[in-house]
Amino acid sequence: MLLVPVAVNAQAVDLQAQITALLAQITALQAQLAAQGGGAAAAACTFTKDLTLGVTGDDVKCLQQYLNAKGHQIAASGAGSPGSESMYFGNLTKAAVAKWQAANSVSPAAGYFGAISRAKYTSLAAVTPGTPGTPPVVVPGTGLAASVASDSPASVSVPGKATSVTFLKFNVAGTGTISNVVVKRGGAGATSDFSNVYLYDGETRLTSGRSLNSSSHEATFSNLAIAVAGVKTLTVRADMATAPGAANRNSLAVSAMSADVAVSGLPVTGNEMTMSTVTAGTITLTKTGSPAAPNIGQAGALVSQFRVDAASENMKLSRLSLFSGGTTSKSNLTNFVLKDQGGTAVATGTGVNAKDLVVMTFSTPYSLAKGDSKTFYVYADIGGGAKSGDTVKLYVDEASDVYAVGEQYGHGVAVTKSSFDSATNHTLTLQGATVTITFNGPNAGDIKKNGKDLTFFDFSIASANNIEIRNLRWTITASTAQNGPDDLKVVDVSSGLVVAGPKDDASGTQVFTDVFTINAGQSRRFKLTGDLDTNWINDDAVTATLVAFTATDIKNLDNNQFLATTEFSPSTNVAGNLQAVKVPTLEVNVAATPVSDSFVKGTTAVPFIGLSLRAIADDIKVTTIKVSSSPSSGTLANAKSDVMSLGLYDGTTQVGTVKSLTGTALPATATFDNLNYTIPKGQTKVLTVKANLSSAATANEIHAVYVADVSTGTAGTDIVALDTEGNEPKYTGSDTPNNDLAVRLTVLAAGTITVAGAPTDVESKAGIIPASASKTVLGKFNFTATNESLTVKKLKLKVNNVTTSTTAPTSIVEVPRIYLYDGADQIGSTAGYIPIGAGGSAGQIIVEDLGWLVAKNTTKVLTVKADTESLSGTGHGTTGRSIYLHVLPSDVSGDGFEATGAASTVYKLTGSSAGVSGNQKVVYKTYPEVTVASAGTALFNGSNDLLLFTVTNKSSNAQLSWNVVSFNVSGAAATVPLFGANTAAFVIRDLTNSVNLTLGTTATAGSASAGQYTIYIPTEEVIPAGGSRQYRLTGTVVAPAADSSISTQIVLRVDTTVASIQKNVAWLDAVGNDDTGVDAVVAATDAGFVWSDNSATTHSLTSTDWANGVYTDTFPATAQTRTN
């Protein structure tokens, strides 16, 4: 075994191997370049459908790669950024498509990648020089060679709690077996940024999670036994800590590898990832339900059930691996299927792998909206070799076994599995005997009249021994005068071969004496099928029952003895479900969506009507759908010109080809023919008619699409379909869907966008913002788009120092840069925007090329954040400065606001003719937080501790001072302290430093039973940066009566609504006394709490850096009560 570390010299043989590998790679690259010859390359992407919001797939990823390469960048970082393109078409992709469309004269530039855009892409790709392909991975002649894979991820920002984050993909080429891999952390980060590190082969986890050693920064994966023959691609993934260090940068590298041959090419290192302060969403898995014990040999047995809850962000579940911890052998669990609560299969797994994992593969990631709670069911086939008493146990072993990508941050969300792990799961005990019979279905349902090979009964037989089945007895019950099904037979599901029968007119008791065998440990699946002729009528019914085996029906070939009935499970009859005879039918109705709506002219893919199509008793293939349309004006010309084209869609997938409305008189019609669209038996599909509206469509015109006549008699008229026998089905439901024009569309001339202040929250409320802050919230504003989705491109903001937006600012140096956010996502310039510093536009922030989408008839919140200056020294701002943020209105083109929709450009931002303003923010070097606690609950005669309070300095950069605090003291049947000019009865003790404060004159107001007290401290209390002090207020109570009480509360009293800056003494001595602070009576203008951020060049009681308690959030504080 050879361990190849990073920092050792290669042996001669290793060096030669590296040289040989490099020469081979150079040769391959030269050949590849020569083959390309500098000629044009074919289009890199193949687009077969329209791409729009919500669509997922490889074609979306290819589109994002193309847009990024052409300068229409999806995102600067994270999902969608160059090297981190995703398969999800979201708002960022739509904005980038719109930019590409505008740059290439595709109209309308609405961000919808449809037929026009595909044609333009093809024409551009045909003349665009090709780019060199990915260099081939060179396989060395001997040993193993490691290299970074071409699709190893680029540097991105990673949120806290993100799971299964890919840090490195690497190739190992050659022939050999890897036993150990060492992964090492690098970069200006920390091992504490990680929770676990994993090694993957594709989507299969090779080991349990490893933690990084805090000293060596390494994690070692041992006993791997990874066989390499050619090229093996492995992946290093990691789960992140809850709160990784902000802006830390980490990379992961494979620094060493052990194998049975020499290894070259190490180390291989992934790109650095930046740790973000945001936190990923969470997916929680919880065991639910009580699945029944499965039978040996059962097909499609329910083996587990769990609920998934999505929190904090929308997400897509794309990988799930369940650990198999039961006692039954791996080989006895196969054909796993994961179904959602609607019964739809969403993922499959072949079996249990060598690591005891069932890897469920999703054909399409499963979407979970924020707040969704979905239940999933796991089904599997139980092998015939299982034993009665064996257990089946499935659960989530490692967090990385669940991979759900959050749409907000583009990484795997945090996984909470404590309610579906090794301690909390379903442990199912297998049931069975020597021979176990399991009924698999079908459920009660419909079967078609004149149907062939209809399934009446589906069952499995598993045996512990080699057996011979000599008799199968059935009871066929038919609720009809018919003699029973024809061609009744038992078919092996796997091979399709008939093992017993057939019989005609099979009603009552039917005995099949055909002999067939089942091997020891085998489970065979069978179905009882038959035909129904044309004499059967609607609502006839058939039920099949497998009669219990007798002691002469099954022979044990191992000992040549017949099995006793006690060796069968069950030993009773097994009844099937009733199957109702139905004529194959297509039920047509108007779907619940879309509903009547309004759209701006020029909008594409407008949903007009949904047709609900249900197949009854058979698969139904729809071949033709003809729709009609009449506009409210009654003008044929408007019908044809307003609606440019029509398409038929199953979700986002186009069915058939695009059509136009035609005709010489109303109604105008469009016929979708040659559809070949099949609806499976028992299912309902919705086909939506979508249209592209002309940019010159008539405003306020009302259009509707309907089906004039589904069928005449038994023949389809405007809708034509066929069953599996090639016959037209019966048509039911509505014969004239939407003929009453209940679902209709109104064409509008243009959309509007309105701005208003967002509801005040903890971030946007009036308050203090600290100096030297990064991206602190200045304000939040609601933008509402009406009638169409609008993309805000230009925006004008203003920062000044008063509530009106028209006033020029006194100073804006305090906020040198602002940033725009949509929720947690930064929008616009990543570098932020600098307010104009002087002139008539002083304070204005001009935003262009914003590309912020506000969806139709929805409201989005624009959050404006700012950096703040240090307030230290000349030119760095003034403490106590009020800052107001305004969104300015605009009425004309180019005057500061612009939003574009499908067919219109909006220059007027409505909501307030004078603009919309945020709440007052006041900037200080630091600010206090005051909290209170009880000092005791019992009331005594004499000295009582009335209140504990703590003053915290919220900045780590500046010290804080305070020297005035006010209390309300109220008594119930008790005499509260009367102080006047006497301070002796009041004591404030600094508990942090164990010293009593020296109190100045205590001003009072009130009576003997209630009072307000403002205590002045001549020597200010100083709290260092980031520090806090706890104080205790003690007062004297005289002879409290029984059941009396005193309640004490810190209050603001009459502090003004603006946290002004002035001399300290001005707060206590507003009547013009000297600067001693002596003021024996509380005046109407006296402040309740006075503090300073020490921002003056020379701080003192007379410096103008003192503020009142306005915006100290905890005032008035909670009252604390003592009771006798």
Out of 278, 296, 325, a domain closes at: 278
Predicted confidence at residue 676, as pLDDT, reads: 93
Residues 402 and 364 in one domain: yes
Question: Is residue 8 scored above 70 in pLDDT?
Answer: no
Contact 865, 825 (CB under 8 A): no
Percentage of the residues of the chain whose pLDDT score is greater than 70: 88
Task: Tell me which range, 146-155, 490-499, 966-975, 1087-1096, is most confidently predicted by mean pLDDT.
Answer: 490-499
C-alpha–C-alpha distance, residues 226 and 637, integer Å: 70
Instruction: Specify the higher pLDDT residue, 517 or 84.
Output: 517
pLDDT in tens, 1002-1028: 555 444 335 677 788 888 999 999 999
Predicted confidence at residue 666, as pLDDT, reads: 94
C-alpha–C-alpha distance, residues 270 and 251, integer Å: 6
Give the domain range for residue 511: 435-579
In terms of Cα–Cα distance, which of 379, 469, 387, 479 is closest to 429? 387
DSSP, collapsed to helix, strand or coil, labels residue 259 as: strand
C-alpha–C-alpha distance, residues 165 and 441, integer Å: 42
Point out the least confidently predicted range of 226-235, 666-675, 960-969. Answer: 960-969
Mean pLDDT throughout 245-273?
A: 94
Out of 908, 924, 940, a domain closes at: 924
Contact 835, 812 (CB under 8 A): yes
Residues 424 and 440 in one domain: no
Neighbours of 740 (CB within 10 A): 12
C-alpha–C-alpha distance, residues 579 and 529, integer Å: 12
Mean pLDDT of the chain: 86
Please give the C-alpha separations between residue 1075 and each of 1054, 1056, 1061, 1068, 1086, in angstroms, as whole numbers. 21, 21, 17, 9, 14
pLDDT grade for 424, boundaries at 50, 70 and 90: very high
Residues 757 and 744 in one domain: no
Tokens of 210: 């490893």
Residues 762 and 742 in one domain: no
Residues 444 and 410 in one domain: no
Contact 509, 474 (CB under 8 A): yes
pLDDT grade for 28, boundaries at 50, 70 and 90: very low
* CATH number, domain with residue 455: 2.60.40
Residues 1058 and 1106 in one domain: yes
Question: Is residue 755 scored above 50 in pLDDT?
Answer: yes
Predicted confidence at residue 37, as pLDDT, reads: 36
Percentage of the residues of the chain whose pLDDT score is greater than 90: 57
- Our CA angle for 540, 451, 457, nearest 5°, is 75
pLDDT in tens, 899-952: 988 767 888 777 655 579 999 999 999 999 999 999 988 888 888 898 999 999
Residues belonging to the chain: 1124
Question: Is residue 699 scored above 80 in pLDDT?
Answer: yes
Domain contains 39? no
Letter for the amino acid at 874? Answer: T
Neighbours of 439 (CB within 10 A): 17
- Our CA angle for 738, 742, 746, nearest 5°, is 110
Task: Tell me which range, 647-656, 824-833, 882-891, is most confidently predicted by mean pLDDT.
Answer: 647-656
Question: Is residue 975 scored above 60 in pLDDT?
Answer: no
Predicted confidence at residue 530, as pLDDT, reads: 96
Predicted confidence at residue 1002, as pLDDT, reads: 58
Mean pLDDT throughout 845-861?
A: 91
Phi-psi region of 174 (alpha: psi -120 to 50; beta: other; left: phi over 0): left
Residues 680 and 545 in one domain: no
What is the dihedral sign for C-alpha 747, 748, 751, 757?
negative
Question: Is residue 1117 scored above 50 in pLDDT?
Answer: yes
Residues 520 and 630 in one domain: no
Predicted confidence at residue 974, as pLDDT, reads: 46
Point out the least confidently predicted range of 165-174, 701-710, 992-1001. Answer: 992-1001
DSSP, collapsed to helix, strand or coil, labels residue 823 as: coil
- Strand positions, DSSP E, 241-279: 249-259, 263-264, 268-269, 273-279
Question: Is residue 895 scored above 90 in pLDDT?
Answer: no
C-alpha 681, offset from chain centre: 33
pLDDT grade for 1105, boundaries at 50, 70 and 90: confident
Question: Is residue 1058 scored above 70 in pLDDT?
Answer: no
Question: Is residue 893 scored above 80 in pLDDT?
Answer: no
Residues 388 and 470 in one domain: no
Phi-psi region of 812 (alpha: psi -120 to 50; beta: other; left: phi over 0): alpha
Contact 629, 462 (CB under 8 A): no
C-alpha–C-alpha distance, residues 648 and 654, integer Å: 6
C-alpha–C-alpha distance, residues 848 and 249, integer Å: 31
Q: What is the 3-state secondary structure (H, E, C) of 976-1006?
A: CCCCCCCCCCEEEEECCCCEECCCCCEEEEE
Task: Tell me which range, 136-140, 214-218, 505-509, 1078-1082, is most confidently predicted by mean pLDDT.
Answer: 214-218
Is the pTM here over 0.75, yes or no? no
pLDDT in tens, 193-244: 999 999 999 888 998 899 999 999 999 999 999 999 999 999 999 999 998 9
Contact 160, 246 (CB under 8 A): no
Predicted confidence at residue 181, as pLDDT, reads: 97
Residues 984 and 1081 in one domain: yes
Question: Taking the C-alpha atoms of 808, 813, 815 and 816 in order, what is their torsion angle to the nearest 10 degrees?
Answer: 110
Q: What is the 3-state secondary structure (H, E, C) of 78-113?
A: CCCCCCCCCCECCHHHHHHHHHHHHHCCCCCCCCCE
Question: Taking the C-alpha atoms of 1058, 1061, 1065 and 1067 in order, what is their torsion angle to the nearest 10 degrees?
Answer: 0
Out of 564, 579, 594, a domain closes at: 579
> What is the CB-side half-sphere exposure of residue 1012 using CA atoms within 13 A?
16
CA-based max dimension of the chain = 120
Domain contains 52? no
Please give the C-alpha separations between residue 1085 and each of 1088, 1101, 1120, in angstroms, as whole numbers. 9, 18, 26
Predicted confidence at residue 502, as pLDDT, reads: 96
Predicted confidence at residue 1003, as pLDDT, reads: 55
DSSP symbols for 677-706: EEE-TT-EEEEEEEEEEPTTPPTT-EE-EE
Domain contains 88? yes
Residues 964 and 836 in one domain: no
Domain contains 35? no
Angle between helices 115-126 and 91-103 (to 10 degrees): 60
C-alpha–C-alpha distance, residues 8 and 596, integer Å: 73
Domain contains 31? no
- Structural domain count of the chain: 7
Domain contains 25? no
Instruction: Please return the burial class of 230, using the count of CB atoms within 10 Å of its CB with bins 0-12, 13-18 and 19+.
Output: exposed
Predicted confidence at residue 20, as pLDDT, reads: 46
Mean pLDDT throughout 951-978?
A: 77
Domain contains 33? no
pLDDT grade for 277, boundaries at 50, 70 and 90: confident
pLDDT in tens, 1028-1040: 999 999 887 776 7
Identify any residues that bridge with 889 across adjacent strands, giving them in sequence order.
Answer: none
Which residues lie below 8 Å from residue 346, measured CB to CB, with a gap of 6+?
A: 338, 339, 340, 362, 363, 364, 366, 376
- Our CA angle for 56, 60, 66, nearest 5°, is 170
In terms of Cα–Cα distance, which of 241, 238, 319 is closest to 279? 241
C-alpha–C-alpha distance, residues 981 and 1001, integer Å: 6
In terms of Cα–Cα distance, which of 108, 93, 119, 113 is closest to 50? 113
Which residues lie below 8 Å from residue 9, measured CB to CB, with a gap of 6+?
A: none
Tokens of 945: 């501790």
C-alpha 746, offset from chain centre: 34
Contact 442, 458 (CB under 8 A): yes
Domain contains 203? yes
Mean pLDDT throughout 435-446?
A: 94
In the DSSP assignment, the letter for residue 63 is H
C-alpha–C-alpha distance, residues 794 and 226, integer Å: 56
Task: Tell me which range, 96-105, 566-575, 758-767, is most confidently predicted by mean pLDDT.
Answer: 566-575
Predicted confidence at residue 1017, as pLDDT, reads: 85
Task: Tell me which range, 102-106, 589-593, 977-981, 1063-1067, is most confidently predicted by mean pLDDT.
Answer: 589-593
Predicted confidence at residue 127, as pLDDT, reads: 47
Instruction: Specify the higher pLDDT residue, 1054 or 769.
Output: 769
Phi-psi region of 73 (alpha: psi -120 to 50; beta: other; left: phi over 0): beta
Question: Is residue 44 scored above 80 in pLDDT?
Answer: no
Please give the C-alpha separations between residue 941 and each of 565, 986, 989, 1041, 1042, in angstroms, as whole numbers. 91, 15, 20, 9, 11
Predicted confidence at residue 1102, as pLDDT, reads: 83
Residues 740 and 655 in one domain: yes
